Structure 1
Amino acid sequence: MEWRCEWCEKPHEENDPPCDNCGHGTFEKAVTQVNHEVVPGGTVWVCQDCGRSHQRNSPPCKRCGGADLELREGPPETDPLDEIGTRWLDVIEPKYVAGYAAVAVLLGVLLLSVVGVISLPTLGGASGPPAVPDAPGSADTVGDLSLADVESAYVTELNDRRANEGAGTLTRNATADEAAAYYNKATVASAAGDGDGPDRAAFSRFPLQCDRPSVVSYRVAPERTGQSVTDFESEGALATELVDSYVERGNAFRSGESIGVDVHVAPDDTVFVTYVVC
C-alpha cells in the first residue's frame, strides 16, 4: 500500500516519515477514489420532473434539480423537451433568476473592492496566529534539563552541520519559534488522542518571513537513543542526539535564512521536534 504525507499529500512507498518534501512527521495510507457505480446494459435514470436522462442514480437532476430519478431500459432517442417544445429557459424558476442576479451583484462588488474603487469592511472569521495548544508531557524542563536551552543548542548544532555541508546558517526567529511551537504541540496532542493535529489554515496565519515555509517535524523515542531523556548529562548532549537522529535518516537540509524550533517531551519520554525554516 502506498503512503502519503498528511500535510502536503506527497506519496511515499513506505511509512517512513518525515516527509522529504515538507518535513511533516506523519503519513497516512493513500486512498483510491472509487467512482459511483454505472448501471450496465444501456439503462438510464430519468428525472420524473423534466425527463432528462442520467447515466447514474445521482440526484439532484442536472437540469431542474429534481430529486426523483427512475430507472428505465434504453436511452430515449430524443430529448423530451424537444417533443413538448419547451426551451431550456422555461425550466428556470424566478427564484433562481433572482439568485443568479444576487450572485452577479456580489461578484461585481468584490471586483470593485479588488481594484480599489470601493472599500469593504473586514469580514468575520479567524484572524491572527492561532493559540499554541496544550500538550501532555513537558514543554519547559525534564529532569535537570531546560528544554529552552535544548532548543538553543539544537539550532547551534544544526547550523554546524549545515555549514559543513555548505547549506548556510540560520538565524533564530521569534515568530518562527511560535509557529514551530503551535505545530509541535498540536502534533503531540494528536499523538496522545487529544486533538486532530496541526491545521494548515491556522498555521498559515503566522506572519512568517516567507510565503512557503519548510516545516520539519519528527519524533525520537528512547529506543532510538538507547537511554531516557533524563539520562543525558547536558542540554547540548540531548540536542546533538536529536540532530543526529534527523541527519541519520538521510533528510536534506532546508534552504532559508531564519529558523524557529520547538522541543517537547511526551509522558513516555518520546521527544517531539519541530523546526520551521524561512
Structure 2
Amino acid sequence: MRSTRIGLIAAAAALALGASACGSNSSDGGASGGSGGDSIKIGIKFDQPGLGLKKGDEYTGMDVDVAKYVAKELGYDADKIEWVQSPSAQRENLISTGQVKLIFATYSITDARKEKVSFAGPYFVAGQDLLVRADDSSITGPDTLDGKKLCSVTGSTSAQKVKDKVPGVNLQEFGTYSECVAALVSKGVDALTTDDTILAGYAAQEQYKGKLKVVGKPFSEERYGVGLKKGDTALCQKVTDAINKMISDGSWQKAVDDNLGPAGYKPPAGNPPTPDACA
C-alpha cells in the first residue's frame, strides 16, 4: 500500500510539472504556437507619432501596421499581439532574454547590433535629420551645431554619428524622444536628431504645428529592420517573406501613406526596400 501511494504521488507531481512546462511560453516571447492559437509579444516604441504610438489601449503607426501584417502572416491575428514598450537602449536585452519575439521600433540595422541580434528586412529606409524650433534659422545642418545643445535618445545611433561629425556639439541624451521634443520647445536644447520619419511625426502633431520644423537635409541612411533572436534564420526568413508580400500587394505603400503622409513626408530613395537574405 505504501509503495502504491508513493507511486501515485510521484505520477501526480510529474503530471503537474509537465502541465506547467506546456503552459509557459515566457522564454520565447510568448510565441510558442501559431495560427492564432497563442499570443506573440512584439516590441514597438510607445511615443513616436506616425511610427509607434500608444494612446490608451490603441496602438498606431507604420511600425504597428507592418508588425500586424507580419504577425498575420505568421499566424497571429491582431488580438493575439501583446505590445511591449521597447526603448532604444533596451531592445537587444528584450530580444536576448525572450521578453519579445520580434521588435519593430525604428530599429536601424548595424553591424554592431548584428553581433547581438538578427534582423529581417529592411522594411523601410529613412535618413537622419534635425528638428529645430520654427523661428531658428541658425541651424541648417550638422556643420552648424558646434556649441549647440543637441538632444537624442540613449542607445540610439543618431547621437553618436553627430558627435563624431561635430566634436564641439553639446550632446544631451534623454530616455525618450518625447522628452527631447519637450526640451526643444522649452528651449532647454537647440535641436533634436534622429530619423526624419520620427521628426516629421512630431512636427505634425497638433500641439507643435508652427512651432517646430525639420531641417530637411538628411545626412545618413537608416535601414529599419525587424529585430529577432540571433541565429533564428527560420523565423527571419518567414518575416522577410511577409515583408516582401506586403510590398508587392500594396499594403506597404498604404501603411506609409496612412501614417507618414499627413506630415507631408515623402520617403527617400531606396524605398520600398529590398529585404536582405537571411543568413
TM bin, normalised by shorter chain, reads under 0.3
Pick the structure with greater CA Rg: 1
Structure with the largest fraction of strand: 2
Where relative contact order (Cα < 8 A, 6+ residues apart) is larger, the structure is 2
Q: Which has the higher helix share?
A: 2
